[in-house]
Chain A
Amino acid sequence: MSDTTWDPSKPILEIENLSISFFTRLREIPAVMDFSCTVMAGEAMGLVGESGCGKSTVALAVMRDLGKNGRIVGGSIKFKGRDLTHMTEEELRHIRGSEIAMIYQEPMASLNPAMKIGAQLAEVPMIHQGMAKDEAWKLARQIVADVRLPDPDRIVNAYPHQLSGGQQQRIVIAMALMSKPALLILDEPTTALDVTVEAGIVDLVKDLGKKYGTSMLFISHNLGLVLDVCDRLCVMYSGEAVETGNVEEVFDNMRHPYTQALFRSIPLPGADKNSRPLVAIPGNFPLPHERPPGCNFGPRCSYFVEGRCNAQDIPMVDVPDAHRHETRCLRSAEIDWAKPAVAGKTAEKAEIGRVVLKLDDLKKYYSVGSSAFGGGMKKVVKANETLSFEAREGETLAIVGESGCGKSTFAKVLMGLETATSGQIMLFDENVQSTPIQMRDTGTISKLQMVFQNPFDTLNPSSTVGRQIIRALEIFDYGKSDAERETRMLELLDLVKLPRAFADRMPRQLSGGQKQRVGIARAFAGGAKVVVADEPVSALDVSVQAAVTDLLMDIQRKNKTTLLFISHDLSIVRYLSDRVMVMYLGHVVEMGTTDQVFSPPYHPYTEALLSAVPIADTRVQKQRIVLEGDIPSAVNPPPGCPFQTRCRWKSQVPGGLCDREIPPVRMLEGGHQIKCHLPDEVLAKMEPVIKIAAE
């Protein structure tokens, strides 16, 4: 169905001065202002920015699906030379799904739960090409095979809930490819997935892009991913494009202060919490109706000049000596871009003290019924298998692994929300493994606290911030009078660097980062000695992440807290942890200091995990290791080594040992533990996954 008048050398998608507003009862809220970008045939364009910057709005505008309140108030979106902004619903319907297809953030939510996969796929050619049902199902089966899903015959007859997250996303991709679209819009396609699964999806998307010559609009907040996938990139901030250009040029020769600040706030290899701390972007993202005059980034910019940057609207200007590289900065020619960041305050490495937490052979099994309504055979889920380690005062121990590896179960057992099946947890001099939280005394509870993943759900929406912190103090029996607790609450707000006036605010008036600070203040209210931080920054934007991690580190130094940092983000783990523990299917497969874990010899799983993490640095060369398949179910783990089903080194172990025996814990030099059958000489030959090319 290609338009015959369109010349392939012209851009596929040409967005010019696009402005989009949402209309509420109160006011018009401009979401995107003066946005322009072009995507050529076969090109992959990345849209990068933090949440609320308008990148998804642009994508939906291309689809002309802005909902009832959204309206395009200016500019044009030309697709193959035809203006989409003036098309009727009927014309749009012919383009949607057949020429422009979209892939969404949450695969589970974007598949119809009550329709078979095959029916959802076959629908596309049946609508657009009038294909017969049988033929369409055959095509669906073929495309399912194309997106490298095993057993396509079974999958086309399955319902979405019967597939794993990664498989669902492959189905969404298959659906988008059913009619060979000219433009593919990917809206954070891998955000909801695990890193190793993400790596597989990214590979698939790149290959398919090449195979079908599809242009892509790739929306992401992850700079590393954009570097991996895209040819060109457009950085957005607060509804505006601030910098556009080729990926390499923007990464290496950025010409906008926001882009620069963004790069300085993400933990790249080489960053270190003590000697080279991250530089967080000061301030907060402006609300859409409270944007500053002139440059939107002005108030947070370190190059800001009063009277110039906030005098008039800033236009996009070409960067000299570059190829299609533009920036929205008045001072781009004056700033010395090569100058290294003013290193923030460097800090002394915290001293590591005595052992405060000791786990010995901890096991947690769940028994589950086999059917939705219970009954039937009882099965045992081994969520944690023989966990043994110690954590010392002032130390940061990172626990790394993908979803389902048992890291959250471990946190629950430690906190007392669950009790251990067997084994021991020694907190200071107390055995807590079988004491549920309601039986623990206030001293133990206040010593052992948790910072939660999602700050949006963990604060009571109908109680003020101050009240919630005071409540924690009351529970911890802190202070003799209300006045004393009030004072302590204000001190805690100081500790987490929130203005004291915030005590009277409601959680909804706070941004995500501020809420997480309140969560941290609450955790430290009773002078916690051991804090479990369960993905404390993964729900936050990158520029805020840096500030919150910094805060955690600061408090740790001050209080000599032991931090158990649970995360799937290896970049941040590398940045802040002293020791790392890698978990897979309930087993600790590798444990050692950060350097030991991040350099060879690796456990094969760690190796794959490291390779899967996208790194936003053009100098980094990575060995590409893509794991096949999904994580096996914990209800039915493979016999022998838990990782054997996906391990690429399996053939190097003689005698099929991996199939039969769970590997023993081996001590390498320096207290580096590894749970693998690989012989020493093979381990010694392993090469580093990440290499930084010489500059």
Chain B
Amino acid sequence: MLSFVLRRIGVMILTAFALTFIVFYMTNLPPNLEKLAKSEASVRMDDAAVASWLEENGHTGPVLMRYGEWLGALPGWTRTNEDGKITGRCIIEGQDPATAPSHCGILQGNWGYSTVFKAPVTEVLARSLGATGWLMLWVMIVMVPSSLLLGVLSGMREGSRTDRVLSTFAITTTATPEYVSGVILIALLASATAGISPILAEAGWIEGKTLFPGTATSAMEDITFWNFFLPVMTIALYGIGYIARMTRASMTEVMTQQYIRTARLKGVSFREVVMKHALRNALIAPFTVIMLQFPWLLNGVVIVETLFNYKGFGWTLVQAAGNNDIDTLLACSVVAVFVVLVTQLISDIGYVFLNPRIRLA
């Protein structure tokens, strides 16, 4: 078991290197760097000035070397100006070059400086990940139990009325992307002119003009049912449909297995057949799907956070991408890669525990 986990972690690290290198390469393409130079120094620089700015700030040289520096595996660049002043990647303005560390990349905890937020990337990232973490937690709390319940209920009697109603619901939600369902939810529940809010307001059942607020900005300080309901539901609805379909497929398959017939012909009641015999076997497949939903949530988070102006990871990513904030973008990609790979590892290990047939020696 330990060796399996270690091997998986090894593969993970390799994958992480490969993926971050690709992102690094893309964000450090010459046009991006040129844009960076112009936004950092002066918009009206000519090509020669851009080149020399890039040279001075260590953006030239082989891309592998720059990647190594960013990673912290290679020593940061240093250069001496004409006036004898030593600057370098690891030398903070005004620091004595002799005391500065030789390596300063993400391995040393130096994630760079965000040009958009005017703060160290670590700080920006910590804040936004915290916010997104809460969002994800509530999405999972809503999504997982309800989707499993839906899936099991519709899968235990394939083709029944319950199955058809629940399946229709699941297909509808999973066929509606977040940017559509989000807009619909806002129009329906959070608009002062459309949906049910005007009716409720007229009847005097709600205090404000809308049932739910249209933004989730206030949830940054204090999460309440009212300010969090819409973003959570927007993300969860999609996942509910998807996981419910997977669970249903797995459940219907399990219900046709011979051991279910064995149980039934042992005299086990239908309820017990479902609970004791079918459920565990039926959950093996959706478990992997649920774990795969984590990375997918990151995707949904980008849209929903922008839509509801919730300053989490997705919102930060959009800002960084829109403003050529290379360090932040790179950091976001590292986080994303990490999330994907860790959830994969958890799903593989969890699978082993659910399925006694693949117990590790």
Partners in one complex: yes
A135, B267: Cα distance in complex, Å = 19
**What is the size category of the interface that chain A forms with chain B?**
20 to 34
* B262: contacting residue among A110, A114, A375, CB under 8 A: A110
Q: Are B266 and A97 in contact (CB under 8 A)?
A: yes
Within 8 A of A (CB), among B1-59: 3-4, 7
Q: Are A159 and B357 in contact (CB under 8 A)?
A: yes
A101, B267: Cα distance in complex, Å = 9
In the complex, the chain B residue whose C-beta lies closest to that of A185 is: B265
- Residue-by-residue, is A73-109 near B (CB-CB < 8 Å gives 1, otherwise 0)? 0000000000000000000011111100110101001
A65, B263: Cα distance in complex, Å = 12
* B277: contacting residue among A96, A112, A372, CB under 8 A: A112
In the complex, the chain B residue whose C-beta lies closest to that of A377 is: B361
Contact residues in A for B272 (Cβ distance below 8 Å): 127
A104-B361 in contact given A96-B267, A124-B267 (Cβ < 8 Å): no
Q: Shortest distance in angstroms between A192's beta carbon and chain B's nearest beta carbon?
A: 12
Contact residues in A for B4 (Cβ distance below 8 Å): 371, 373, 375
A112-B356 in contact given A127-B268, A376-B361 (Cβ < 8 Å): no
* B360: contacting residue among A63, A65, A373, CB under 8 A: A373
Q: Are A96 and B357 in contact (CB under 8 A)?
A: no
A161, B261: Cα distance in complex, Å = 18
- Residue-by-residue, is A108-132 near B (CB-CB < 8 Å gives 1, otherwise 0)? 0111111100000001100110000
Say yes or no: is A431 at the interface (Cβ < 8 Å to chain B).
no
* A110: contacting residue among B7, B261, B267, B361, CB under 8 A: B261
Q: Name the residue among A68, A101, A112 with the largest chain B CB count within 10 angstroms.
A: A112
A123-B357 in contact given A104-B262, A113-B259 (Cβ < 8 Å): no
Q: Are A159 and B356 in contact (CB under 8 A)?
A: yes
Q: Are B266 and A127 in contact (CB under 8 A)?
A: yes
A94, B267: Cα distance in complex, Å = 6
Q: List 25 A-B contacts (CB under 8 A).
A: A65-B261, A65-B264, A68-B159, A93-B267, A95-B267, A96-B264, A97-B268, A98-B267, A104-B258, A104-B261, A109-B258, A110-B259, A110-B261, A111-B259, A112-B263, A113-B355, A114-B281, A115-B277, A124-B266, A127-B269, A175-B266, A371-B360, A372-B359, A373-B360, A375-B7
Contact residues in B for A95 (Cβ distance below 8 Å): 267
Q: Are A372 and B358 in contact (CB under 8 A)?
A: yes
Say yes or no: is A370 at the interface (Cβ < 8 Å to chain B).
yes
In the complex, the chain A residue whose C-beta lies closest to that of B356 is: A159
Q: Are A127 and B267 in contact (CB under 8 A)?
A: yes
Say yes or no: is B280 at the interface (Cβ < 8 Å to chain A).
yes
Say yes or no: is B257 at the interface (Cβ < 8 Å to chain A).
yes
In the complex, the chain A residue whose C-beta lies closest to that of B4 is: A373
In the complex, the chain A residue whose C-beta lies closest to that of B261 is: A65
Q: Name the residue among B262, B266, B272 with the largest chain A CB count within 10 angstroms.
A: B266
Q: Are A63 and B262 in contact (CB under 8 A)?
A: no
Q: Are A102 and B265 in contact (CB under 8 A)?
A: yes
A-B pair number, CB within 8 angstroms: 90
A128-B259 in contact given A161-B356, A376-B361 (Cβ < 8 Å): no
Q: Are B361 and A372 in contact (CB under 8 A)?
A: yes
Residues of B in contact (CB 8 Å), total: 30
Q: Are A113 and B281 in contact (CB under 8 A)?
A: yes
Q: Name the residue among B267, B280, B354 with the largest chain A CB count within 10 angstroms.
A: B267
Contact residues in B for A127 (Cβ distance below 8 Å): 266-269, 272
Q: Are B258 and A375 in contact (CB under 8 A)?
A: no
Q: Are A114 and B264 in contact (CB under 8 A)?
A: no
Q: Name the residue among B4, B259, B261, B357 with the largest chain A CB count within 10 angstroms.
A: B259
Q: Are B266 and A113 in contact (CB under 8 A)?
A: no
Within 8 A of A (CB), among B252-308: 257-259, 261-269, 272, 276-277, 280-281, 284
Q: Are A114 and B355 in contact (CB under 8 A)?
A: yes
A124, B264: Cα distance in complex, Å = 11
In the complex, the chain B residue whose C-beta lies closest to that of A178 is: B266
Q: Are B281 and A112 in contact (CB under 8 A)?
A: yes
In the complex, the chain A residue whose C-beta lies closest to that of B279 is: A114
In the complex, the chain B residue whose C-beta lies closest to that of A369 is: B361
Q: Name the residue among A65, A98, A372 with the largest chain B CB count within 10 angstroms.
A: A372
Q: Are A376 and B3 in contact (CB under 8 A)?
A: yes
A112, B282: Cα distance in complex, Å = 12
Q: 6 closest A-B pairs (Cβ-Cβ)? A: A371-B361, A97-B267, A97-B266, A109-B258, A96-B267, A112-B259
Q: Are B357 and A161 in contact (CB under 8 A)?
A: yes
Within 8 A of A (CB), among B231-270: 257-259, 261-269
Q: Name the residue among A68, A94, A106, A115 with the largest chain B CB count within 10 angstroms.
A: A115
Q: Name the residue among B263, B272, B355 with the largest chain A CB count within 10 angstroms.
A: B263
Contact residues in A for B7 (Cβ distance below 8 Å): 373, 375
In the complex, the chain A residue whose C-beta lies closest to that of B1 is: A371
A93, B270: Cα distance in complex, Å = 10
Q: Shortest distance in angstroms between B345's beta carbon and chain A's nearest beta carbon?
A: 13
Q: Shortest distance in angstroms between A652's beta carbon and chain B's nearest beta carbon?
A: 39
Q: Shortest distance in angstroms between B288's beta carbon and chain A's nearest beta carbon?
A: 16
Q: Are B361 and A65 in contact (CB under 8 A)?
A: no
A492, B356: Cα distance in complex, Å = 50
Q: Shortest distance in angstroms between B340's beta carbon and chain A's nearest beta carbon?
A: 21
In the complex, the chain A residue whose C-beta lies closest to that of B280 is: A114
A101, B266: Cα distance in complex, Å = 7
A391, B40: Cα distance in complex, Å = 85
Contact residues in A for B267 (Cβ distance below 8 Å): 93-98, 124, 127-128
Within 8 A of A (CB), among B314-361: 354-361
Q: Shortest distance in angstroms between A47's beta carbon and chain B's nearest beta carbon?
A: 17
Q: Shortest distance in angstroms between B129's beta carbon and chain A's nearest beta carbon?
A: 32
Contact residues in A for B269 (Cβ distance below 8 Å): 93, 127
- Residue-by-residue, is A187-216 near B (CB-CB < 8 Å gives 1, otherwise 0)? 000000000000000000000000000000
A127, B361: Cα distance in complex, Å = 35
A109-B257 in contact given A161-B356, A376-B3 (Cβ < 8 Å): yes
In the complex, the chain B residue whose C-beta lies closest to that of A373 is: B4
In the complex, the chain B residue whose C-beta lies closest to that of A65 is: B265
Contact residues in A for B359 (Cβ distance below 8 Å): 372
Q: Name the residue among B159, B258, B281 with the largest chain A CB count within 10 angstroms.
A: B258
A372, B3: Cα distance in complex, Å = 12
A123, B269: Cα distance in complex, Å = 11
Contact residues in B for A373 (Cβ distance below 8 Å): 4, 7, 360
A371, B358: Cα distance in complex, Å = 9
Within 8 A of B (CB), among A129-179: 159, 161, 172, 175
* B356: contacting residue among A101, A113, A128, A172, CB under 8 A: A113
A109, B265: Cα distance in complex, Å = 14
Q: Shortest distance in angstroms between B28's beta carbon and chain A's nearest beta carbon?
A: 38
A123-B280 in contact given A114-B355, A371-B360, A372-B358 (Cβ < 8 Å): no
Contact residues in B for A111 (Cβ distance below 8 Å): 259, 262
A94, B276: Cα distance in complex, Å = 18
Contact residues in A for B268 (Cβ distance below 8 Å): 93, 97, 123, 127
In the complex, the chain B residue whose C-beta lies closest to that of A99 is: B267
Q: Shortest distance in angstroms between A24's beta carbon and chain B's nearest beta carbon?
A: 14
Q: Shortest distance in angstroms between B261's beta carbon and chain A's nearest beta carbon?
A: 7
Q: Name the residue among A113, A114, A115 with the largest chain B CB count within 10 angstroms.
A: A114
A109, B257: Cα distance in complex, Å = 7
Contact residues in A for B257 (Cβ distance below 8 Å): 109
A404, B161: Cα distance in complex, Å = 48
Contact residues in A for B261 (Cβ distance below 8 Å): 65, 104, 110
Q: Shortest distance in angstroms between A341's beta carbon and chain B's nearest beta carbon?
A: 40
Contact residues in B for A124 (Cβ distance below 8 Å): 266-267
- Residue-by-residue, is A566-603 near B (CB-CB < 8 Å gives 1, otherwise 0)? 00000000000000000000000000000000000000
A68, B159: Cα distance in complex, Å = 10
A109, B357: Cα distance in complex, Å = 13
A110-B258 in contact given A65-B264, A127-B268 (Cβ < 8 Å): yes
Q: Are A96 and B266 in contact (CB under 8 A)?
A: yes
A370-B258 in contact given A93-B269, A112-B263, A376-B3 (Cβ < 8 Å): no
